[in-house]
Amino acid sequence: MRIALFTETFLPKVDGIVTRLRHTVDHLQRDGNQVLVVAPEGGIKEHKGAKVYGVSGFPLPLYPELKMALPRPAIGHALEEFQPDIIHVVNPAVLGLSGIFYSKVLKIPLVASYHTHLPQYLQHYGLGMLEGLLWELLKGAHNQAMLNLCTSTAMMAELTAHGIERVDLWQRGVDTELFHPDRASLEMRSRLSQNHLDSPLLLYVGRLSAEKEIERIKPILQAIPHARLALVGDGPHRSTLEKHFAGTNTLFVGYLMGEELASAFASADAFIFPSRTETLGLVLLEAMAAGCPVVAARSGGIPDIVTDGVNGYLFDPKADIQAAIDATVLLLEQQQKAAIIRQNARQEAEKWGWSAATRQLQHYYQKVVSTPTLTTAS
């Protein structure tokens, strides 16, 4: 099958969406498909045998790491040359709209997928009054598709409640060979703890942005004597966070990738994830695959992954942070319980390889392509 994949973000950007897409493209190509990725220009011309068609753009004012690439006629020419059997738009916002347009013009079946909970992001940037309008725009875009995929049951319910139709689940995925408990190392633990090997080591991995609510980790860190915190990642909120965590035992690590990232997960005592805006939370699966106990907000798609008290701990993000402190202390003080949590987390992650998730996606593609008529919302 020939698949044109439109995305608002791709390599060299580092985030959960890009991680899913690069593994998906890899496995689609391995299975004999041909993929064309249409994305904001980033210097990448090819990925795992798939051509990457870069569209020039400009940085978003509130989020300069992301580029806004505007639709243009040249995209249509690229599609006519590629002759796709199906178009898949990921988080259609700007560039993805051209994928929707050309699916109509060229009469190509359309699939859309929802990965970023944009309406909830608005309140973190002082734009909460636009949430209703954004849902209407999202509904208008997604209801052009024959199928709308979500990465958690919570997001399926959310989209359906807001009038988005033909919704189904695209199962989670994680690289269980790369992210493994065997990647734990004293060298990485020393690096992340700033040479305090015997101190409790707390870890966060992800974008340093306002909607991640990383500030909520500070009281957890302060409640545990001698604890160290490593923040892995980067983003527009970094300077604010550096001021917020000034005077604490916090290390801003920057980006880690590949084996270094896997080693960071496996070498920490607890992974703290306070975000309430996650559609899935891929980093949680990576932590669990590496055997790192998770303490996360009971919100969005996170309860699809973490079962409280079994393979991690959940806390109510609307309540006092004390529940998160208590769960973290429990992990650090009760080593036998922590060992069971680690083992259960690894067993859960082992169910969700990327090959299975991509096979499911290909099944969806085949079903859409074989559907004789396209029914969209008016």
Residue 374 domain-assigned (yes or no): no
How far is residue 348 CA from its own chain's centroid?
Answer: 18
Do 91 and 6 lie in a common domain?
yes
pLDDT at 319: 82
Do 41 and 17 lie in a common domain?
yes
Do 15 and 157 lie in a common domain?
yes
313, containing H or E segment = strand 313-315
Do 125 and 152 lie in a common domain?
yes
Residue 339's contacts (CB-CB under 8 Å, 6 or more residues apart) are none
Residue 118 domain-assigned (yes or no): yes
**Residue 20 corresponds to which tokens in the numbers above?**
């899913």
Do 164 and 201 lie in a common domain?
no
Residue 234 domain-assigned (yes or no): yes
Query: Domain span at residue 342?
Result: 181-349
Return per-residue pLDDT of the chain as tens, 378 residues.
999 999 999 998 888 889 999 999 999 999 999 999 999 998 899 999 999 999 988 776 655 666 778 778 999 999 999 999 999 999 888 899 999 999 999 999 999 999 876 656 556 556 666 677 778 888 999 999 999 999 888 889 989 999 999 999 999 889 999 999 999 999 999 999 999 999 999 999 998 988 899 999 999 999 998 999 999 999 999 999 999 999 999 999 999 999 999 999 999 999 999 988 776 678 999 999 999 999 999 988 889 889 999 999 999 988 889 999 999 999 999 999 999 999 999 999 998 889 889 999 999 999 999 987 544 443
pLDDT at 117: 61
Residue 75 domain-assigned (yes or no): yes
Do 332 and 357 lie in a common domain?
no
Cβ distance 151 to 301 under 8 Å? yes
pLDDT at 133: 79
Task: Please give the radius of gyration of the chain, using alpha carbons only, rounded to the nearest integer.
Answer: 21
Distance (Å, whole) CA 137 – CA 93: 9
How far is residue 11 CA from its own chain's centroid?
Answer: 14
Total number of domains constituting the chain: 2
Among 103, 94, 117, 77, CA closest to 40: 94
Do 255 and 320 lie in a common domain?
yes
The β-bridge partners of 270 are 202
Distance (Å, whole) CA 297 – CA 212: 11
Q: Which amino acid is present at 304?
A: D
Distance (Å, whole) CA 212 – CA 198: 28
Residue 306 domain-assigned (yes or no): yes
Helix (H, G, I), strand (E, B) or coil at 54: strand
Distance (Å, whole) CA 261 – CA 239: 22
Do 113 and 220 lie in a common domain?
no
Q: Is 11 exposed, middle or buried (0-12, 13-18, 19+ CB in 10 A)?
A: middle
Do 229 and 342 lie in a common domain?
yes
Among 19, 89, 14, CA closest to 286: 19
Q: Which amino acid is present at 262?
A: A
pLDDT at 166: 97
CATH number at 65 reads 3.40.50.2000
**What is the phi/psi pair of residue 94, to 5°?**
-125, -70
Number of neighbours of residue 105 by Cβ within 10 angstroms: 11
Do 358 and 270 lie in a common domain?
no
| Per-position DSSP letters for 189-252, written without gaps between them | HHHHHTS-TTS-EEEEES---GGG-GGGGHHHHHHSTT-EEEEEB--TTHHHHHHHTTTSSEEE
How far is residue 192 CA from its own chain's centroid?
Answer: 23
Do 190 and 63 lie in a common domain?
no
Residue 376 domain-assigned (yes or no): no
Among 40, 289, 329, 2, CA closest to 172: 289
What is the pTM for the complete model shown?
0.77
Residue 210 domain-assigned (yes or no): yes
Do 262 and 159 lie in a common domain?
no
Distance (Å, whole) CA 132 – CA 289: 37
pLDDT at 378: 36
Residue 375 domain-assigned (yes or no): no
pLDDT at 376: 43
